[in-house]
Each structure stands twice: as C-alpha cells, then as structure tokens.
Chain A
Amino acid sequence: MLRKLFAIWIAKSVIFIGKILNKKTTSMPGVLALKICPNIIRILSKFIKKEIIVVCGTNGKTTVNNILCSFIENYRIDNCEKTIVVCNKFGANMPSGIVTSLIEKTNIFGKLSADYACFEIDEAYVTKIFDFLTPHVVVITNLFRDQLDRYGEIDSAIKLIENALKKVKNSKLVLNADDPLIAEFGLEKFVIEKTDENINLSEMDTESKHVFYSKEYSFKKKENIYYFGIDEKISDNMDEVREGRFCILCGSKMYYEYYHYGQLGKYFCENCGYKCPEIDFAAKDIVFGESFKINEKVVKFLRWGIYDIYNVLAALSAISVCGIQVDFLKVHYPFQLGRMEEIGLNNMRVFLNLSKNPAGFNQAIHTILKKEEFKSIIIVINDNVNDGKDVSWIWDVDFEKLNNDKICFIGVAGSRFYDVALRFKYSEIAVDYFSEDIKQTICESFKSRAEVCYILVNYTALFTTRNIILEIRNNFNKNELKCC
C-alpha cells in the first residue's frame, strides 16, 4: 500500500516537474513507478468503472486509440456531465506509458476515478501487460513488417499476439477481417482429411516428391469475436511487397479477389479453405473526403487514405461492441501530432507525416499523389534505437511512384540520409538535395515552385522535424524572410 502511494507520488512529481520545464513526460514517470511498485498496473486498473479497451497492431494504433478516446469522452453516461477516460494518447505504448497515463488520472491518495480506459500497447509488451490488466475489448488493426530488428520476423509478431490472447480468453476481440494474418485469431479450425487424389503435388520437376500441404479445414467463428473490414473494391492493385502471400495455415498460395493495400483485401486459399471471414462491421459506399457507410449507417469521412477508413472503422466497431451509442455522423478526428499534420508557413503548406514502415510509407505516398498540386517531398530517416537500427526496409517502399511530374523537389535528410539517397539513385529518381541536416533540406525545398511540402519522417525524426518547422514558422512570423 505504502509502496503504491510512494510510486504514485514520485511519478506525479516527475509529471509536475515536466510541466514546469515544458517537457513531455509520457514514460519516465511510469518507469520510476514500475520500479517502486511493479504491480501498479493491476492496482490502478481495478479502479476503472466500465470497460478497458486495448488497441494492438502495426499501424494505426495511436489514431484508433485517440478516436476511441475522443468518442467516449463525448459520451454521456446516465446524463452525467463528464466521462473520464484514461488513455495513452501520445503513443507511449510500453508498460511505462500505460502507468504514466493511469497515474495522471490518480489523486495523491492513490484513488483513480475513471469510467473507461483506452490503451494502445506495443506488440512486444501485450503478453506482459495482460498479466496485470484484463481488457474487456481488444482491437487488432493489422500486421505489417516493421522493425524486424526488434521482432525478428513478422511470424514472431504473430506469435507474440497469439500468446497474449491466450491470457485474456474472456475478452471480446475486434479483428480486421481483411488481414489474413489477423483474422485467423478469431477462428476455430476443424481438419477435414483429404483423400490422396486431392493432394496438390508441386508442378515442378519431381525429383523428390515432398508433399507439404494436405490438410483442409472448416472454420467456425469463436465466441466473442467481431470482425471489421472494407466490403468493396476501392483501390487499383498496387505493386508492392506484401506479407501473407502464402496461406498462414497451409503454406500454399493465397488468392485475392482484390487488394486494399499490403496483404489487406478479399483473400481465399484454394487449398485449405481459409478465407476472409464474414464481416460484422462492413464499410461500404466509400467516397474519399466525404463519407462511407458502416452497416448502412452513414459516417462522415473527411480523409483521403485507405488506412483512415480502417482507423475510423476499427474505433467505431470497438465502440459498438462496448454498447456505447454514438452518432456516426459526428466522427471527430482528434488532433494528432505528425499524422498528416498541417502546419501553415507563410504561403507554403507543410504536411508532416510519421511513416515508419513500408506499408505506412506506401500509403502516405499513395495519399499524397491523389492531390493535384505541385509538391515537394522530403524524407527524413533516422536509425536511433526507437526507430529500429535497420533501415533496409526503405528498399521495400515504392519510391518509384515519386517519378511524377507534379513533384518538383525531392529532399532526403536524417542520420541515414545516404541510405535513402542510394535507394533513389538505384531507382533513377533524381534527389534535389540530401544532407543529414533536416532544416537545411526543408529550406532548400522552399526554393522550388511547389505549393505544398510533404515531409515523411520516421519515429525519432518526428519531434525534431516538427520543432524545426515550428522554428521556421516563428522566423517567418518575425518577418525574417530568410528562413535558414
């Protein structure tokens, strides 16, 4: 008991000091609190009166979590004035970040008063956190190759989540039906024995007849499983590196009626019968920048990315599963740092977007190219610990698409700028400027005739780059025409 209070006081003081120094403290308070009281997540999460929702997956965690939080905050329980939600809004998704967000809503006597909690959790920590916290709802957005140096391979990430889910068997799962790597979590498999004639032998030389797949399954949705998905073809097949080209259950080739992006789409395996399951929350009639429908209910949709649809869809599905009644027409996009964040600079508009893996990058490029204006593109890639030390994934991004006559400037910066510059050289796309110096690169871009500047950055480059843009804006405001 004393330990708990001590932990809370220390953490609260750190948060307080952080506020005075105007520094973001999203994880340090939690690190200290966990050291003093390792059980703190269990103790504090018991105070949550209603549901705890956990968001997991490679891309979109922070956005989904923020949409969830803003929706629930606006939801009036029994006409009470305010609904209190604990949420790790800024994406600090390791145990320390979760503890910090819990302690922020706890008073100095160790009492936490909150109705709901929404947490995004890093895949590598879900198993551990589920020892201390039992969510009512778990949302899984998607799985893409990301930071392979941390997880080894995407198969390891799948195993991590699979093991975590075993610990929370009574939780409701909200799963992306369009992702073959995820949908399987919600299905029970029954083996149907095949006869010899049905066995698919390799059609190549048959020096050795190794048969590696011979099972066929029938599937049944497990209890407490809810699927969301996009139920119409919305994009032209993009030629990109995909996961899950081969059936995760039997290893034979996966077929697609259509792709949305990455391995997401309407898939089926001819060999074992695995296919996109029936969708509970289906997005249809999608008009980018206007609206789409979820099960015939109209949702306001003022965004341009396919991933934006998934984010809204995942959040609204989870909210419906919790039984929270909300008006779909009032989808409120909470402001988010560096998620296509627009920063106005004199007569130049700058968009800052966090893109930290091939799927995220390809989607960002796809979304940018939908707009007609003349643009400059800047790519900032660092290789700090939080980024993953390996940057080879940039070769899986379709930078070739940037060979487009509306793009008048390409700049490359960050600690691994040479790697990105080489990537462009071997695609025979001219880079107008490259340097480790982010500010210099941004300023060079202003010399082009672009009307809009898109800056795509990876994780640790985000805050540095954002501060640089704000600094340039301040200089502009002070009428210092020279920005650099």
Chain B
Amino acid sequence: MVVNILHMYPDLLNLYSDRGNIECMKRRLLWRNIDANVIELTTESENIDLNYVDIIFIGGGSDREQKIVCEKLLCIKNKIRKYVEDQKVLLAVCGGYQLLGKYYKIKDEMLEGLGILDIYTESSDKRIIGNIILENELFDNKIVGFENHAGRTFNNCYKPFGKILIGGCYNNFEFEGVMHENIIGTYLHGPLLPKNPLVCDHLLNKALKQKYEEFLSLSKLNDDLEISANSLFCKKFLGKRKF
C-alpha cells in the first residue's frame, strides 16, 4: 500500500513549522510498513494531477505570502473541488484553512477563497495568540496546539474540529475549526499532528479506506512519548483554566 501526500506550496506557506505535520504522517505510515510518498507543489511546479493524491496538506503563511498562494490556488480551484467531491482527505491549517472558505477579508481588501467550504474569515486588529486545547469525542485524548492568527473564521454549517477548552480568547468562540467529510480545517499549529497522533491516524485511516477497499484498520504504534507530551501539555495549561 502507498499513500501519496501532497504538500501545497511549502515554499510559501512554511510559517510555523507546519512541515512537522508532513513528517508525522510520513513516519506513521512508514512505521506501519505502508509506503509514503510526499509530493511538494511549489510555485514553480508544472501542472499537478490530483487523481494520484490521497492526502492534501495546506499550511499557514503571512498575509503577504497568502495573497500569492491565493492566486496560485484559484488557478487549480476546479481540480481541488473535484478532489474534495471524491471524498479525499484534506488537512488545512491556519492560512490554508482560511483559503478553503468563500473569502478572507483583510481590512478593506477581499481575498477570494476556494469556496470549498461554506465558511468565511474576517481579519481583526487583535491577533489571537496562545496555547489552545480542544475536545472532540472522536478522540480519546485532547487536541493540543498553538494558535496565532488575526483572522476570525465563521463556521455556521459544519461540525467543528473541537470544543475549545482553553484558547480562542478574544472572540468568545466556543468551537474551533471544521471537520466535514474528510476535510479538517483548523488554526492549530504546534505542529498539529505529532502531539495529536490520534488525529494523524484518523486522517491516514480515512485516506487508506478511501483508496483500498480491502483496508481494515491501522496497526497500533507505541505512542507513549506522544501521549506523555499531550498529557503534560494538558496538565500544565488546563490546570490554569477558570471555570
């Protein structure tokens, strides 16, 4: 079995160590003797055929870089739409998450999004910066990460990625992100996946099921280190929560 992972515009959206997510997916496949093939779509890449892609990852960048990416993405908008309609896996973090929506309004400027999700984002003068912990009944462990964004994303249609336990401080939002079909959109950096191996395996599982009919489930890995990192993080920051 092989999983093809597409990293979208790592040359532009490389803020915040998001490459750790790619590394995490890749290793967790290889450790289970499943081949992983990472493809980078850069601003210099020629045409890309998404038919061969099983997981797409889009990370975050500065507003300046995001504008450039936006132009590039709109060129392959239809391909990404088809990819999503085929029920394939897509993980979008921060800037990438914003671009999945209808638009991103930065002050007076409108950035047209891919319109894959019925969400929209508006920038605010106050950045939300800090540790964040979410809860999602799909996962036994809490989802931990770090957020740093000026945009406020409004999701009125889909299930959220998680209920906010700490974080998201200025907007009084109760929920964070989107989890719709095989798409996860979220503001969580950290990078997201290494400290949340269950989320990583959830995506890998979906991708493999989608691709191989005979695929049953992922084998178990020794995640002691990951779980310890996750638990210590929760202990440290949830302890300070005011109820």
Asked if B195 and A422 sit within 8 Å, CB to CB, the answer is yes
Asked if A253 and B229 sit within 8 Å, CB to CB, the answer is no
**Is B116 at the interface (CB under 8 A from chain A)?**
no
Binding site for B on A (CB under 8 A): 145, 148-149, 152-155, 202-208, 210, 212, 241, 245-246, 251, 253, 389-390, 392-396, 418-419, 421-423, 425-428
Asked if A152 and B129 sit within 8 Å, CB to CB, the answer is yes
Asked if A418 and B71 sit within 8 Å, CB to CB, the answer is no
Interface flags, B124-148, vs A, CB<8A=1, else 0: 0001011100000000000000101
Residues of chain A lying within 8 A (CB to CB) of residue B11: 245-246, 253
Tell me the B129-171 residues at the A interface (CB within 8 Å).
129-131, 146, 148, 150
User: Can you offer 15 A-B residue contacts whose CB atoms are under 8 A?
Assistant: A149-B130, A152-B129, A152-B150, A153-B63, A204-B76, A206-B75, A241-B17, A241-B19, A246-B11, A389-B146, A392-B146, A395-B19, A421-B225, A421-B229, A422-B229
CA distance A452 to B163 in the complex (A): 48
Top 4 nearest A-B pairs (CB, nearest first) are A395-B17, A418-B229, A395-B20, A153-B62
User: Residue among A145, A153, A394 with the most chain B CB within 10 A?
Assistant: A153
Interface flags, B61-73, vs A, CB<8A=1, else 0: 0111101100110
Asked if B24 and A253 sit within 8 Å, CB to CB, the answer is no
CA distance A148 to B16 in the complex (A): 8
Asked if B225 and A422 sit within 8 Å, CB to CB, the answer is yes
CB distance from B28 to the nearest CB of A (A): 9
Asked if A392 and B225 sit within 8 Å, CB to CB, the answer is no
Residues of chain A lying within 8 A (CB to CB) of residue B64: 155, 251
CB distance from B199 to the nearest CB of A (A): 14
CA distance A152 to B130 in the complex (A): 11
Asked if B71 and A202 sit within 8 Å, CB to CB, the answer is yes
Contact size range, B: 35 or more
Residues of chain A lying within 8 A (CB to CB) of residue B130: 149, 389
Residue in chain A with minimal CB distance to B78: A207
Given A154-B62, A419-B229, decide whether A207 and B17 contact each other with a Cβ distance below 8 A.
no
Tell me the B34-71 residues at the A interface (CB within 8 Å).
43-47, 62-65, 67-68, 71
Residues of chain A lying within 8 A (CB to CB) of residue B228: 418
**Is B194 at the interface (CB under 8 A from chain A)?**
yes
Asked if A253 and B44 sit within 8 Å, CB to CB, the answer is yes
Residues of chain A lying within 8 A (CB to CB) of residue B101: none
CB distance from A387 to the nearest CB of B (A): 13
Given A422-B226, A425-B225, 9 other A-B contacts at CB below 8 A? A145-B15, A204-B45, A208-B75, A246-B43, A246-B65, A251-B67, A389-B130, A392-B189, A419-B229
Interface flags, B1-29, vs A, CB<8A=1, else 0: 00000000001101111011001100100
Asked if A392 and B191 sit within 8 Å, CB to CB, the answer is yes
**Is B179 at the interface (CB under 8 A from chain A)?**
no
CA distance A392 to B232 in the complex (A): 16
Asked if A418 and B76 sit within 8 Å, CB to CB, the answer is no
CB distance from A474 to the nearest CB of B (A): 32
Residues of chain B lying within 8 A (CB to CB) of residue A246: 11-12, 43, 65, 68
Residues of chain A lying within 8 A (CB to CB) of residue B76: 204-205, 207
